[in-house]
Structure 1
Amino acid sequence: MVNVIGLGYIGLPTALMMASHGVEVVGTDYNKEIVATLNAGQTTFEENGLDDLFDAALEAGIKFSTEYQVTDTYIVSVPTPYDKFSKKVDACHVVAAVENVMEVCPKGATVVIESTISPGIIDKYVRPVIEDNGFHIGEDINLVHAPERIIPGNMVYELLHNNRTIGADNHEIGEKVKTLYASFCQGEIVLTDIRTAEMTKVVENTFRAVNIAFANELAKICRHDNMDVYEIIRICNMHPRVNILQPGPGVGGHCISVDPWFLVGDYPSLAKVIDESMKTNDGMPDFVLNRIYEIMKEKGLTDISRVGLYGLTYKENVDDMRESPTLQLLESQERHLATGLKVYDPFIKKDVVKNQYHDLDSFLGDVNMVVVMVKHNEIKENMAKLTDKVVLDCHNIIDLPGVCYI
């Protein structure tokens, strides 16, 4: 039996996927409300294909509990926040989960850390916890790192098809964990050591962050001299060895916007390109806010309360707001002692910010300028409703005359 610890955006889909493929699974979370919701037969967030996967897992016998189980395999999939000042990963949730596992696990159990961590975290924090509880790693407890590789909006597909990395001290244990993941994973599963597995996950997201930062910096340069960044990128990408990404209003989520900071925090004198790239990405919400004021001045608009931000989530067609550029922009506005922007997102059902709407037509009826922060399908399908609005399109998706861009 596998005990999956942490039933959030990564842990829940992983637990469901394993259960639906014949693995006996108990999902554990300290949040009683989450566990109660799952036991009542409801998922806790929206995701393509998640409800069907949930139904299949329930039929296969998955269970949910606030209690840690006595079993031979644990998968720890809890959040790993970072300190915004030191830029270092905060491993407190991982450490707490492992400490709780040590209270119930039998000798010979395997603890798999799925949470994204920076290189050396397992050596610095996880191994000492296990040893302090009287276990000998490799004899009494086996330790493995299997970093997740999925993204909200496409989790179910990516769980099935993405390649995976398994880092283990012992090759035989690594093979056993590989077999566990192969119960559902159709991608290639690579075995390596733990520290390499830690590094590869962080590097993957850092590579993407640096590439996004280049596109964002290019957008700023082109804006400065009134050039069309999208046309420039389109032509450059015709070169067989060039693939420039698209600029945007910022970077959100709990991977690309966070993981690269782990390297900056651990290697501050070495990670210079990464540091500057992250600062560029983090500065985009402010850049968009300045563009709003510029366009308002150009168009003769004086009332900030008639400006609406479309989209609250960090990416399209999901309900995940973690590190959302829109939230960052609103925070920046408040720091400048200004408020009033209206906000709407079709995926956010509860009120989470001031001046939030829950209906597209009502939202559009109360604004004369729309800032497209998120490229949800909804706005693309309702483009005609923007014809009488001033539009700042942060993603180059609105095909209407007179649209403004970042």
Structure 2
Amino acid sequence: MTNMSKDLVNVIGLGYIGLPTAMMMASHGVSVVGTDYNQDLVNSLQAGHLTFQEDGLEELFAQALQGGIQFSNSYSTDADIYIVSVPTPYDKLSKRIDPHYVVAAVKQVLDVCRKGAIVVVESTVSPGTIDRFVRPLVAEHGLKVGEDVHLVHAPERIIPGNMVYELLHNSRTIGADSREVGERVKAVYASFCQGDIEVTDIRTAEMTKVVENTYRDINIAFANELLKICYSDGMDVNEIIRIANKHPRVNILTPGPGVGGHCISVDPWFLVGDYPELAHLIRQARVINDSMPDFVLERVSHIMKENGLSDFKRVGFYGLTYKENVDDVRESPTLQLVETMKEHLAGTPKSYDPMVHTQVVDNQYQDFDAFLKDIDLMVIMVHHDHLDQCASKVQDKVIFDTRNCAVNWPESNKIVKL
């Protein structure tokens, strides 16, 4: 597609969402400035080096550079549209959204933007966040929404591991106070987005994104609770799910060791925090999924006893990321489990992840062979492609396979399924 918009776009926050979005726009003819407070990150991008890896990103980066993308620590004073793509954590006690990153970014935009600028919040937020936290900022700056500044919510809809494809093909939602502003922002996203782009009001857009991730969390929780029921009574949950899914209206997901990432493991809490008397099912799904790392640890203890293993120092966890074939460790179930072991077993267990080249925990190995040499029990937490490629190296181990992926491995191993 070619870009029909002549707007200059300033993307604020060059992390897992903001950077690919900025590059995708720039590669499709949109004038883009990418801004981040991290000087090292900006320096790296200015030098032509990506800050994280994923299939297709290098090619997209090259196209964006050719398209004239710029990177800076400063907010653009000439931008027509500002896209805020910063983290939105939640308060662990109240379960409500912590909007301080969004608030800080919008404040800086309002300090420099010119009259008529559009501020788009891409960060996932709870319904009502823009009304409660963003609109008051505009008034504090002596400006009027709809005249001096226009507010829009266009929640991101991509997942690490498949960013380029999903940016191009996933549908999008544009929430705006006026149809005219919504259509103007839609034109920018339509420069690259081949999916449907819905224009609606802001609160509907906020709620829609949170509902999408909550739906997935609830369905994962059903699979995980089913796993616990089957395990308690000696039934094979994988076989039961396989047969049940042959029904045309049944599609049970695969159970696993927990839910990570910054979307599914966080966004449902927004609804629990804002609607504590109503979000009963949503709360219970979060409790079930958050309990899975502890369930894995209990299973590890049982497996060790069954196999005559007594030294936790000879247990190794494969996979530190929250999903396969990415380097993203945010809310990783493995890191949750490691913290529990560190607290209760007076030490950090051994771990290895081929995608994580920085040291994120103690006793993290960077060499797979050395990792295998020092363990007797390997717990598979993440199914990276690397594991399939190196399965032949795994010999004479007890394997606790939480991902049901150890198929046709060397017969010298003893494989236990989740």
Give the TM-score category using the shorter length. Answer: over 0.9
RMSD between superposed Cα atoms in Å: 0.9
Q: Indicate the residue corresponding to 2:379 in structure 1.
A: 371
Match of 2:342 among 306, 326, 334: 334
Q: Indicate the residue corresponding to 1:179 in structure 2.
A: 187
Deviation above 4 Å: which 4+ runs of structure 1?
none
- 3-state secondary structure, aligned to 1:283: helix
- 3-state secondary structure, aligned to 2:227: helix
Asked whether the equivalents of residues 338 and 348 of structure 2 are also in contact (C-alpha less than 8 Å), the reply is no
Is the counterpart of residue 308 in structure 1 residue 316 in structure 2? yes
Is the counterpart of residue 85 in structure 1 residue 93 in structure 2? yes
Is the counterpart of residue 16 in structure 1 residue 23 in structure 2? yes
Is the counterpart of residue 61 in structure 1 residue 73 in structure 2? no
- 3-state secondary structure, aligned to 1:116: coil
**CA offset at residue 275 of structure 1?**
0.4
In structure 1, the gaps of 5 or more residues are none
Q: Indicate the residue corresponding to 1:405 in structure 2.
A: 417
Of 79-88 and 335-344, the range deviating more from structure 2: 335-344
**d(CA) in 2 for partners of 1:218 and 1:354?**
34
Q: Indicate the residue corresponding to 1:344 in structure 2.
A: 352
| Cα 1:6–1:280 shift into 2, 3 Å | same
Within a 5 Å distance, the mapping from 1:113-124 to structure 2 comes to: 113-124=121-132
**d(CA) in 2 for partners of 1:191 and 1:389?**
55
Asked whether the equivalents of residues 102 and 130 of structure 1 are also in contact (C-alpha less than 8 Å), the reply is yes
**CA offset at residue 66 of structure 1?**
0.4
**d(CA) in 2 for partners of 1:302 and 1:337?**
13
**d(CA) in 2 for partners of 1:245 and 1:273?**
18
**d(CA) in 2 for partners of 1:78 and 1:340?**
31
> Which one-letter code corresponds to 1:403 in the other structure?
I
Asked whether the equivalents of residues 312 and 327 of structure 1 are also in contact (C-alpha less than 8 Å), the reply is yes
> Which one-letter code corresponds to 1:229 in the other structure?
V
Is the counterpart of residue 290 in structure 1 residue 302 in structure 2? no
Asked whether the equivalents of residues 124 and 206 of structure 2 are also in contact (C-alpha less than 8 Å), the reply is yes
**CA offset at residue 340 of structure 1?**
4.5
**d(CA) in 2 for partners of 1:169 and 1:217?**
42
- 3-state secondary structure, aligned to 2:43: helix
**CA offset at residue 334 of structure 1?**
2.1
Of 236-245 and 395-404, the range deviating more from structure 2: 395-404
> Which one-letter code corresponds to 1:323 in the other structure?
E
Match of 2:215 among 191, 207, 210: 207
Q: How many residues align?
A: 406
Q: Percent identity?
A: 65
Asked whether the equivalents of residues 341 and 348 of structure 2 are also in contact (C-alpha less than 8 Å), the reply is no
> Which one-letter code corresponds to 2:128 in the other structure?
G
> Which one-letter code corresponds to 1:278 in the other structure?
R
TM-score calculated relative to the size of structure 2: 0.96
Asked whether the equivalents of residues 342 and 348 of structure 2 are also in contact (C-alpha less than 8 Å), the reply is no
Q: Indicate the residue corresponding to 1:257 in structure 2.
A: 265
- 3-state secondary structure, aligned to 2:152: strand
Is the counterpart of residue 274 in structure 1 residue 282 in structure 2? yes
Match of 2:52 among 45, 48, 61: 45
Is the counterpart of residue 96 in structure 1 residue 108 in structure 2? no
Asked whether the equivalents of residues 304 and 340 of structure 1 are also in contact (C-alpha less than 8 Å), the reply is no
> Which one-letter code corresponds to 1:221 in the other structure?
I
- 3-state secondary structure, aligned to 1:403: strand
In structure 2, the gaps of 5 or more residues are 1-7
TM-score calculated relative to the size of structure 1: 0.99
